Structure 1
């Protein structure tokens, strides 16, 4: 996200502060995206309208139409922001790890933690409510988020840590399927009451370890 004052959630993921009622020239689109994101996080996509976003940002109800043709265009901007934050969080985890295999595991853990911190946004990011193919910036942001995981796997291959014949794209897809599946089960409440849900971070780490055991080169 652009450099702004931020607020820390309980799960450790940072989001921008709610914009003030007024906005500086050129900041309207950003203020509306921030306001719309908070509406989504508060109650899901059903709460998001151009009027509601305008009211939350402290601008006239006609103001959003200067930047967004309709509700879906605003929602697409919110989801692109979500994918951008997902990419930043996972890449920060990747870069902070001591070695490539740990970086790959850390990337998967950060992915699940992001979903746990922002379940409503996460559902919309991968749900059908927005026609993503109609919004190039959104598609680009989604591909960039997946690219972090691909880089983590490629780093393992470059270091000679993957077993012979392991395909980088297939390993990345397996890792994405694992983390996305776990994250979706968690945010949809399908793991509620199970030991896996009591510490979703520990569960993610254990599953990532299983994946790594299957693809890493034998010592």
Structure 2
């Protein structure tokens, strides 16, 4: 068994333990409401262990964002064959199911932008979003603007739902509400 900062190290996977602690802390108090010392306590490791492995809080958040973008890309790719509507709904489902990841992923000021895993996963997700949103455009010259519009809808809807800013929606199914809105905005059946 290895030792970190004089304390026994019991975890088989320090990286996973710290990321899980960061996700739990983010779920409870947002991505800025915790410290590395708190993550260490939650993970049951010495206070120096997270810094030793990740460097600093930005390093932990880069790992959270990289994992999130990987999961996000997987979800978008799985839905893409169903067309742009399904890809948009997959976006919203991901945000609701992976809220702590989502709260970090689109806050680049919180993490290291040069992380190779993060860059690759973000590029994968971005390619699916661009292809899917662009498929909504009747005019290829408008594909980029249409893709940005579709992305803005999905991201905005997810953010509004997660923040509780759609008060009448508390008893509703977010996917059904989103389908209805997609039908209105993009002329698709809901």
Taking structure 1 as the reference length, what is the TM-score of the superposition?
0.68
Cα separation, 2, equivalents of 1:194 and 1:202: 10
Question: Do 1:32 and 1:53's aligned partners in 2 also have CA atoms closer than 8 Å?
Answer: yes
Q: Deviations over 1:70-117 (max 9, x none)?
A: 11211221122222222211221224x3xxxxx211110111122223
Alignment RMSD? 2.8
Alignment of 1:189 onto 2:169: no
Residues 165 and 121 (structure 1 numbering): CA distance in 2 closer, same or farther, change over 3 Å? closer
Number of residues paired by the alignment? 180
Post-superposition Cα deviations, 1:117-137, rounded to whole Å, max 9, x if no partner, equal 333442332236515546554
2:173 maps to 199
Q: Superposition pairs for residues 135-150 of structure 1, below 5 Å?
A: 135=115, 137-150=117-130
The answer as to whether partners of 1:33 and 1:78 remain within 8 angstroms in 2 is: yes
Greater helix percent: which structure?
A: 2
Within 1, Cα distance between the matches of 2:182 and 2:126? 16
Alpha-carbon distance, 1:143 to partner = 3.3
Query: Counterpart of 2:77?
Result: 91
Question: How far apart are 1:40 and its partner, in Å?
Answer: 1.4
TM-score (norm: length of structure 2): 0.77
Structure 1's unaligned 5+ residue stretches are: 1-20, 98-102, 215-219
| Superposition deviation, residue 180 in structure 1 | 0.8
CA contact (8 A) 1:39 1:48 kept: yes
